A and B are shown apart, each in its own frame.
Chain A
Amino acid sequence: MRRSAAALVGIAAGMLAGAAFIRRRGADRDRVDLYYEDGSMVSLSNGSPDAERLLPLAREILRKTR
């Protein structure tokens, strides 16, 4: 009985860790890359003020065009 409860707790913890990992990977993926005429590029990672302004627009586009 105690063993099966421990197994259940282990499975639940594993699932939570997996979900957190996937969520973190997804968050890391969120970024905006801007390419300029002079050949320069700016990458705005998730969390920066500019990315916070641009990413919701991109999500809105993806949601509306689906």
Chain B
Amino acid sequence: MDAQQALADLTEISSQIQAAVVFDEQGKVAAATVDESRAGALADGAGRLLDQAEQVKAGTGGSLIQLEAATDEGSVFVVADGPRRIAATTAPDPTVGLVFYDLKSALRSIAVKPAPRKATPRKPSAAKKTTSAKKTAPRRKKTDAS
């Protein structure tokens, strides 16, 4: 599934999400539910929020995978899955677990494009059974010995 379709499904199932954006580590927007300028602002801000938040518990081993910043104006959610990130805004007092679940599902549904397979010439395998004519001993004529 492509990122835009994943976000369309996300906003369809989750009425709490006001704006959402899928972006990468460099802040490049892959898809968004809002116009380009707001998508850029959301991706840039969410990236900075994640970078700043990573410094809170730095050096303890576990890496930060998701965060929620709740304010009286609304909440900001950021979920990271490898190089891919998804950020969303909601109204105040959202159902936190449900929003995280929907964001993670959306992020996982975005398929990673498979690397093109190298075309390798087929070689006859050595293990292949060959049906060679068996050398058989010439049949002896039955002699009427009896």
Query: Which residues of A does B touch, CB under 8 Å?
Result: 26-27, 29-40, 42, 44, 50, 53-55, 57-65
- Of chain A, the residue at the smallest CB distance from B53 is A34
With contacts A35-B65, A42-B56, A50-B56 taken as known, whether A30 is within 8 angstroms of B48 at the C-beta atoms is no
- Taken together as a complex, chains A and B put the C-alpha atoms of A24 and B38 apart, in Å, by 30
How would you classify the secondary structure of chain A's contact residues: helix, strand, loop or mixed? helix
Tally chain B residues at the interface, Cβ within 8 Å.
37
- Taken together as a complex, chains A and B put the C-alpha atoms of A40 and B66 apart, in Å, by 11
Please determine whether B67 and A61 come into contact, CB atoms closer than 8 angstroms: no
- Of chain B, the residue at the smallest CB distance from A60 is B45
Query: Which residues of B does A touch, CB under 8 Å?
Result: 18-19, 34, 38, 41-42, 45-46, 48-49, 52-53, 56-57, 60-76, 87, 89, 92-93, 96, 100
Closest Cβ of chain B to A27, distance in Å, is 7
- Taken together as a complex, chains A and B put the C-alpha atoms of A29 and B62 apart, in Å, by 26
Please determine whether A61 and B64 come into contact, CB atoms closer than 8 angstroms: no
With contacts A61-B89, A62-B76, A64-B38 taken as known, whether A33 is within 8 angstroms of B52 at the C-beta atoms is no
Please determine whether A37 and B42 come into contact, CB atoms closer than 8 angstroms: no
- Of chain B, the residue at the smallest CB distance from A61 is B45
Please determine whether B34 and A65 come into contact, CB atoms closer than 8 angstroms: yes
15 interchain pairs, CB-CB under 8 A: A29-B72, A29-B93, A32-B68, A33-B96, A34-B57, A36-B64, A50-B56, A55-B69, A57-B69, A60-B45, A61-B41, A62-B71, A62-B73, A65-B18, A65-B89
Inter-chain pairs besides A35-B64, A62-B73, 7 sampled, C-beta below 8 Å: A34-B57, A35-B65, A35-B66, A36-B63, A54-B49, A55-B69, A64-B42
5 tightest A-B CB contacts, nearest first: A58-B69, A26-B72, A38-B62, A36-B62, A61-B45
